[in-house]
Amino acid sequence: MKRRLLLSTAVLGALSAAGTSQAADLTLCWAAWDPANALVELSKEFEAESGHTMSFEFVPWPNFADRMLNELNSGGQLCDLLIGDSQWIGGGAENGHYVKLNDFFEAEGISMDDFAPATVYAYSTWPKGTPNYYALPAMGDANAWFYRRDWFENEEIKAAYKEATGDDLREPQSQTELLQIAQFFQGREIDGQTRYGASIFTERGSEGITMGVTGALYTWGFKYENEPGSYDMEGAVNSPEAVEALEFYKELYETATPPGYSDSYMEQSLDAFKSGQVAMAMNWFAFFPGLYADPNTGGDNIGFFVNPPQNQAGSTLGGQGISVVSYSENRDAALEYIKWFAQPSVQATWWELGGYSAHNSVLNDPGFADSAPFAGDFLEAMNDVQDFWQEPAYAELLLAMQKRVHDYVVADQGTAQEALDKLIEDWTEVFEDEGKL
C-alpha cells in the first residue's frame, strides 16, 4: 500500500507542467476487457491533476474492430483517443484517421527510444520501421499459454505420463511436445471428471483462428513475404514449413481439444480453463493477472509459459498503441493525456494495476521479472513477436485468412497446401486492388 501511494504521488506530479488546455471531456475508446478496467482506475489520476474528465467507450472484442473501424471510416467524433489494434496503424495513417505525433513528441521530449523496440515498430510506425509515429505504445501483449500446475505436479499423473511417453511431464519445450502433452490429457479422468488437452483459438467471425494458428506458423518459420515490402508471397506463405505448421494445428484441434470448441476465442479459452476442462490453454498475457487471482484455478494451481518454439522462437503479437483521433474536437487535451501516459511514473502504476507497460523503465527494472509469475515470460515473448499484415487493407486480408484456415482446420475441407495456395490467391487479389502488385 505504501508503494502504491508513493507511485500515485509521482503520477500526479507528472502533470505539473502539462495542464494548459481548457477543461474538456475526453472519450477514450478501447476493447472491453480487464486492462480497460485498469485504465479507468489509472485515468482518475489524470483527471485529478489536469481538470479534464474522462469517459470511456469499451466494445466487446468480437465487435471491436467493426465498431471502431466504422467509426473511423465515417469520420465520427465519438473517440478523442483510441487504443486501436496494431494492424490498424497502416490504415489509420494513410486514411488520415490518426494524428501524426512526431512534432508533438519532439516538442514534449517524448522519445520512442524509451519504449521496447518491438512495440514501437508494431504499434506506432507507418510505413513500418520508419520514424513516423501515429501512436504511443500503450499495451504490450502476446499470445502465450497457461496450464494446470497442480496436475503437472501430481505424482500419479507424472508417473502415467512417463509410462505413456517415456518423457517427464513439464512445461513443453516445443510445439510437438505441447501436442504430446495435450494428447496425453485428452479424455483422461482426473478427480472423477473427464478432462481434455488444450483450448486453442478456432473462432472464425473476427480474428480468433488467425491469432491462434499463427502461433504455430511463426515457430515453423512462416513469412508473409520473401522480402519485406515486396508482396512476393509464393514460397513464403505456402512453404513446406508453413504447410507442416498448419497440419500441426489441425491435429492439435482434432485430437486434443474439448468437444464442441469449433468457435473458440478469448472468452471460451478462459472458460474452458477456469471450469477445469483443460490441462492447458492459449490466450493473451492481458488476462494472466486475472487468471492468477482466480480462487479456484489460480495461485499455486496455475503455471504460465511462452509459446514454445519449433524451428525457431515465435509468438503472435497482441497489444495496441494509443492514438489521437484526427476528428477529435479536443485534440489539445487528448495530446495532454498522451504526454501524461508516457511518463515513467505513470507507466509503473499502469503495470501495477494490471496493464502491460512497454516503457523500458518498467521492463528493464531489475525487479520486473519477479514482479509477477508471468512477467519473465512476457519479456521473453516480446523479444520474438511477429504480427499480421498492418496494411490499410488489413480487414480484407484478415477475412481471407480466417476463411481459408477455418475451412481447413475446423471444417475439414481440402489440404493445408490447398488452403495456403488459395490464401496467396486471395491476398494477391487484395494487393492488386490496392495497386501494390
How many helices, marked H, and strands, marked E, lie in the chain? 19, 13
> Is the separation of the CB atoms in 136 and 86 below 8 Å?
no
Whether cis (ω within 30° of 0) applies to the bond prior to 127 is: yes
| Eight-class DSSP state of 189 | E
pLDDT, position 22: 83
Could you tell me the three cell numbers for 341?
501516459
Tens-digit pLDDT string for the chain (437 aa): 233 333 443 344 444 334 456 899 999 999 999 999 999 999 999 999 999 999 999 999 989 999 999 999 999 999 999 999 999 999 999 999 999 999 999 999 999 999 999 999 999 999 998 999 999 999 999 999 999 999 999 999 999 999 999 999 999 999 999 999 999 999 999 999 999 999 999 999 999 999 999 999 999 999 999 999 999 999 999 999 999 999 999 999 999 999 999 999 999 999 999 999 999 999 999 999 999 999 999 999 999 999 999 999 999 999 999 999 999 999 999 999 999 999 999 999 999 999 999 999 999 999 999 999 999 999 999 999 999 999 999 999 999 999 999 999 999 999 999 999 999 999 999 999 999 99
Strands 196-199 and 81-85: what pairing?
unpaired
Q: How far apart are CA 64 and CA 266, in angstroms?
A: 13
> Model's pTM, two decimal places?
0.93
What are the angstrom distances between the C-alpha of 410 and each of 58, 169, 413?
30, 29, 8
What number of residues does the chain have? 437
What are the angstrom distances between the C-alpha of 108 and each of 12, 111, 322, 339?
17, 9, 16, 7
pLDDT, position 327: 97
Q: How far apart are CA 44 and CA 52, in angstroms?
A: 10
> Is the separation of the CB atoms in 360 and 114 below 8 Å?
yes
Tens-digit pLDDT profile for residues 167-208:
999 999 999 999 999 999 999 999 999 999 999 999 999 999
Q: Which amino acid is at 295?
A: P
For the chain, percent of residues with pLDDT exceeding 90: 95
> Is the separation of the CB atoms in 136 and 110 below 8 Å?
yes
Query: Which residues, in sequence order, are CB contacts of 131 under 8 Å at separation 6+?
Result: 102, 112, 125
For the chain, percent of residues with pLDDT exceeding 70: 95
Residue 52, SS3 per DSSP? coil
Give strand ranges (E) for 262-335.
278-284, 302-305, 315-316, 320-324
Strands 81-85 and 320-324: what pairing?
antiparallel
| Eight-class DSSP state of 147 | E
Comparing CA positions, the residue from 146, 144, 154, 405 lying closest to residue 272 is 146
Phi-psi domain of 145 (left: phi exceeds 0; alpha: psi -120 through 50; beta: other): beta
Q: How far apart are CA 15 and CA 174, in angstroms?
A: 47
Residue 138, SS3 per DSSP? strand
Spell out the domains of the chain, with CATH numbers in brackets.
Answer: 25-141+318-386 (3.40.190.10), 143-316 (3.40.190.10)
Whether cis (ω within 30° of 0) applies to the bond prior to 60 is: no
Strands 25-31 and 81-85: what pairing?
parallel
Q: How far apart are CA 203 and CA 30, in angstroms?
A: 21
Residue 139, SS3 per DSSP? strand
Q: How far apart are CA 264 and CA 93, in angstroms?
A: 32
Greatest alpha-carbon pair distance for the chain in Å reads 70
- CB neighbourhood size of 111 (10 A): 10
Strands 25-31 and 189-190: what pairing?
unpaired
Q: How far apart are CA 357 and CA 345, in angstroms?
A: 11
Helix (H) or strand (E) holding 256: helix 240-256
Q: How far apart are CA 310 and CA 173, in angstroms?
A: 8
